[in-house]
Amino acid sequence: MLSKSAEYALRATIYIALKGSEDNKLGIDEIATAIDSPQSFTAKILQLLTKNNNVVSSVRGPNGGFYLTEAARKLPVRAVLEAVGENGVLTKCVLGLKECSETRPCPMHEQYRTIKAQLRQMFEKTTIHDLAEETRKGKIVINNRLVKKK
């Protein structure tokens, strides 16, 4: 349902929220390894997430890396999707039609409208912090192996 970019962006953001801080900035190598993503792809995704320090913050240099501010941790998951241009799942027609609407619906419009509303609610109510905490507790995973606790 989501693109690989969106999947990796969510995983990276959750990992950074879980392990990073202003005092403990994370490098691309660590993030890519932790989320099972190619390093070059992770770098491109982090570039989108750090644009204007909207979701992820970064510092260049030898002591640099990536982290989330307290304000960013409170952002809804939708902010991550928007940062990588993936909010179409919440707005577009499930069949990709340009003119799908209440007056000119596609064959799946009625069913998908309900699902889309549920997705929108989930992505707007769930915060980055919520997902990081669930990961910290071991209730969810962001890769094929559990993230080890500090």
Q: pLDDT tier at 17 (50, 70, 90 boundaries)?
A: very high
Tally of domains in the chain: 1
Taking only the tens place, the pLDDT of each residue in 93-127 is: 889 898 888 999 999 999 998 998 999 999 999 99
Query: How many angstroms separate the Cα of 66 from the Cα of each of 7, 15, 29, 78?
Result: 18, 10, 11, 20
Q: Look at residue 67 and give its three-state secondary structure.
A: strand
Q: Residue 88 has what pLDDT?
A: 81
Taking only the tens place, the pLDDT of each residue in 57-89 is: 999 988 899 999 999 999 999 999 999 988 888
Q: Which range marks the domain in which residue 118 is found?
A: 4-136
Helix axes 128-136, 4-19, angle to 10 degrees: 70
Q: What is the CATH number of the domain that holds 56?
A: 1.10.10.10
**Residue among 55, 70, 88 at smallest CA distance from 21:** 70
Reply yes or no on whether the pLDDT at 150 is more than 50. Answer: no
Query: How many angstroms separate the Cα of 137 from the Cα of each of 12, 95, 146?
Result: 18, 38, 10
**Residue 148 resides in a domain:** no
**Residue 150 resides in a domain:** no
Q: pLDDT tier at 144 (50, 70, 90 boundaries)?
A: low
**Residue 145 resides in a domain:** no
Q: Residue 127 has what pLDDT?
A: 97
**Residue 75 resides in a domain:** yes
Would you give the DSSP letter of residue 27? -
Q: Residue 53 has what pLDDT?
A: 66
**Residue 90 resides in a domain:** yes
**Residue 147 resides in a domain:** no
**Residue 144 resides in a domain:** no
